[in-house]
Homo-oligomer: A and B are copies of this chain.
């Protein structure tokens, strides 16, 4: 079999340790091209750059891969890579490794996962990886074998079109990780609390803070699998339609103009 073509991106920026580790892991599996933001893009969700312009640079970093840094969001990186950089469609797009969790509701805020979802919109296989450790010197090496296993299995068993994977890895030593578990997105939310401060000119300003509230007790919820020591894998789709409510909603809202 030909070596797979792998596109790597992330949301912490092209020099973040998380993406450099992912590149190293992917170099052992296929031919890697990195197109990643030139600055941190955490919390950018599915943002795209439409009211300003983009620039990119090829940069030289250790390893056999090619590295391109783009002045945009993670979703921009996927779009730009496909249209302007790659000469053929990649076999898989991997995003991350994010510094911090993207489990449960975080999937909608996450630049890491939005890049994977965008690849799914393009009909590509895609996986977002996140480690439950925010620190810049987090130990990603523990996750190497698991990440390579998930990528290899996905290449061998492609997911249905439009489905991508949200993989979260607990902050545990390798031999304390219990295994890999396919899960659903936990029912959880952030309870916001804006931290008010006064700037040197006397004006109030705010930092978004808050705490995470897991309202789910199911063993099949990603949040709980992680707490239990598993790597969680949630199949994610971008059809947001609440199909199960279409009929009841139609009874309330559907109207037809009279033939006037």
Binding site for B on A (CB under 8 A): 40, 42-51, 53-56, 75-76, 79-80, 82-84, 105, 107-109, 114, 117, 121-122, 149-150, 153, 157, 159-160, 163, 165, 175, 177-185, 187, 189, 192-194, 196-197, 203-208, 220, 233-243, 245-246, 249-250, 252-257, 260
Contacts and interface: CB of A to CB of B under 8 A. Distances in A.
Given A46-B45, A193-B83, A235-B246, A253 B180 contact: yes
Given A43-B51, A184-B246, A253-B150, A105 B121 contact: yes
Contact of A121 (B44, B189, B241): B189
A114 B45 contact: yes
Task: For the complex of A and B, list the 7 residue pairs with the smallest distance between their C-beta atoms, beginning with the closest.
Answer: A45-B46, A182-B250, A235-B242, A45-B45, A237-B242, A179-B256, A184-B241
How many chain copies?
A: 2
Contacts of A238: 105, 108, 240
Looking at chain A's contact residues, the main secondary structure is mixed
Contacts of A178: 256-257
Contacts of A235: 241-242, 245-246, 249
A232 to B, nearest CB: 10
A251 to B, nearest CB: 9
Contacts of A47: 43-47, 109
A206 B175 contact: no
Contact of A175 (B105, B108, B260): B260
Given A42-B50, A249-B159, A82 B241 contact: no
B107 A240 contact: yes
A237 to B, nearest CB: 4
Given A45-B44, A54-B208, A177-B257, A122 B189 contact: yes
A51 to B, nearest CB: 6
